[in-house]
Homo-oligomer: A and B are copies of this chain.
């Protein structure tokens, strides 16, 4: 079977499986990686509104991370270290979490394990291995599936949430203890052993925040059933709506089952440092910390990076007075911009006071309610150089929902903005049997539909792509870009939008 297409004769079946395996999120990210949009170097490149990264704060981070204290080198940083993480860092993390999670009592450094932000693999597999599955409400951050798939035989047992608010549920995709109970019962009926439940707060991709009351009921459910509760709070400081307060489970005075409650946090989201690869696990369960420490030698993190992170975490002045307020206001503006566009296009979305993304309902762009349709819509976006994340990547039970990341410079969001149009337009080119496509009569979209049909009249096939080509060409060739590159790179320049508008007018005539 060495000549199976695409199969490598040099790799094991497992190796081939891993090599060829690619989830939707990875596929989009991989394509983006090969053709990243850049204002000047690659203006035809792919714009990534699919990967959850905060790209709004590099200036703040650059300023802080290039301060002299970051350059400290101590011999211990260059030596093998405590596999739980350097003591100085675990102490800083404990203080940091005590403060920002408003813990009633000081958290202990010995309960902190410095980890890869992608801990699911080791945590899920190594420690809960005898369990067949982990309970998880869907939709959820899809990469967890990959982690477990690649590293273990542990399955995720899905607890589907309804996208429509009904009698019982006051809001869409609402998680309730009833649904958890029901999911657990189903798993047991299937003869599966469940040892853990994954809870995310703020939620990814729903971007909602659970109240302390809700979280307590979830944790009590876990205790009743002797489940480890893995609580993912990696977005805990990424809350930009002042009217909403996030409550960490670490702020709870007496947890229902502290020995089975494990809280994850990391630098990737709250400090806009996905590339720094540092996360933390806080648990009173020393057995778990020890078990993970045994694996630490394979997941140790550079001592110099641990030092940089410790310096950052101890700088309360910078965090509370500079970074967090500025980060929040930038996120708020970007969120406002995106949601206004969605509103103007009549695209429903969940209210999100936190995180870097919006969970949007693009079902009206599906010609039929199927995941094939959702995927073809996703590919359509991609063909037009825009990466989004579609619901099936999050195991969403209903097709048509997309996660749209807004934490990017506004003119990138603007470039992304045209895409829903492109999608409908290019159907003709990629669908053998033509179908009627819904033309929502919503302001902006309608006018764009018009433009689009107008273009199609002249050049039926690749019309839309060529329009986009024109737009991008205009942006590239006109001299304002040279003039304004500095402002551009600061993401302040409004002219791209103007160019779009002008071309829009022109196309109308």
A interface list, Cβ under 8 A from B: 8, 10-16, 18-19, 21-22, 26, 29, 33, 51, 53, 55, 58, 61-62, 65-66, 68, 70-73, 75-82, 116, 118, 121, 125-131, 143, 146-147, 150-151, 195, 228, 259-260, 272-278, 285, 287-288, 290-291, 294-295, 297-305, 308
Among B11, B72, B127, B294, which residue has its beta carbon within 8 angstroms of that of A127? B11
Given contact pairs A75-B55, A290-B19, A291-B15, A304 touches B308 in the complex (Cβ within 8 A): yes
Query: Taking the nearest CB of chain B, how far is it from the CB of A52, in angstroms?
Result: 9
Q: In whole angstroms, how far apart are the Cα atoms of A72 and B195 in the complex?
A: 45
Pairs across A and B, CB under 8 Å, 26 listed: A10-B228, A10-B287, A10-B288, A12-B195, A14-B125, A15-B127, A15-B287, A18-B291, A19-B291, A19-B294, A58-B75, A61-B78, A77-B275, A78-B273, A78-B274, A79-B274, A116-B299, A147-B298, A150-B294, A276-B302, A276-B303, A276-B304, A277-B300, A301-B302, A302-B302, A304-B305
Once the chains are docked, how many angstroms separate the CA of A295 from the CA of B152? 13
Judge whether A130 and B288 touch: CB under 8 Å: no
> Are A53 and B79 within 8 A (Cβ)?
yes
Return A72 CB to nearest CB of chain B, in Å.
8
Query: How many copies of this chain does the complex contain?
Result: 2
Q: Are B65 and A295 in contact (CB under 8 A)?
A: no
| Contacting residues, chain B, for A26 (C-beta < 8 A) | 294
Q: Are A118 and B297 in contact (CB under 8 A)?
A: yes
Partner of A277 from B8, B195, B272, B302 at Cβ < 8 Å? B302
- Cross-interface CB contact of A298 among B70, B151, B260, cutoff 8 Å: B151
CB neighbours of A303 from chain B (8 A): 275-276
Q: Which of B66, B275, B302 contacts A275 (CB 8 A)?
A: B302
- State whether A287 and B62 are in contact (beta carbons under 8 Å apart), knowing that A273-B78, A308-B304 are contacts in the complex: no
Given contacts A73-B65, A287-B8, contact A275 B81 (CB under 8 A): yes
The answer, among B66, B82, B150, B298, for a CB contact under 8 Å with A73, is B66
Contact A12 B127 (CB under 8 A): yes
Which chain B positions have C-beta within 8 A of A14? 125-127, 129-130
* Contact A12 B275, beta carbon cutoff 8 Å: no
Residues from chain B with Cβ under 8 Å of A287 in the complex: 8, 10-11, 15-16, 19
Residues of B within 8 A of A126 (CB): 14-15, 18, 150
Cβ of A127: which chain B residues have Cβ within 8 Å of it? 11-12, 14-15, 18
Name the B residues within 8 Å of A274 (CB-CB): 78-80
Extra contacts besides A65-B71, A278-B302 (5): CB < 8 Å: A15-B126, A15-B128, A18-B291, A143-B297, A275-B304
Residues A78 and B272 in contact, CB atoms below 8 Å apart: yes
**B285 touching A10, Cβ below 8 Å:** yes
Measured CB to CB, the nearest residue on chain B to A302 is: B305
The answer to whether A288 and B78 have CB atoms under 8 Å apart is: no
Q: What are the residues of chain B within 8 A of A121 when measuring CB–CB?
A: 298
Q: How far is the CA of A126 from the CA of B12 in the complex (A)?
A: 8
Given the known interface contacts A65-B73, A75-B55, A76-B275, the answer about A33 and B82 at a Cβ–Cβ threshold of 8 Å is: yes
Which 6 pairs of residues, A with B, have the shortest CB-CB distance? Answer: A8-B287, A14-B129, A275-B303, A19-B291, A12-B130, A15-B127
| Docked complex Cα distance between A62 and B301 (Å) | 19
Q: Please indicate which of the listed interface residues A290, A298, A303 has the most CB atoms of chain B within 10 Å of its own CB.
A: A298
Task: Give bound CA distance, A200 to B22, whole Å.
Answer: 34
* A294 smallest CB distance to B (angstroms): 5
* Nearest B residue (CB) for A289: B19
Least CB separation from A228: chain B residue: B10
Q: Which residues of B contact A70 (CB under 8 A)?
A: 71
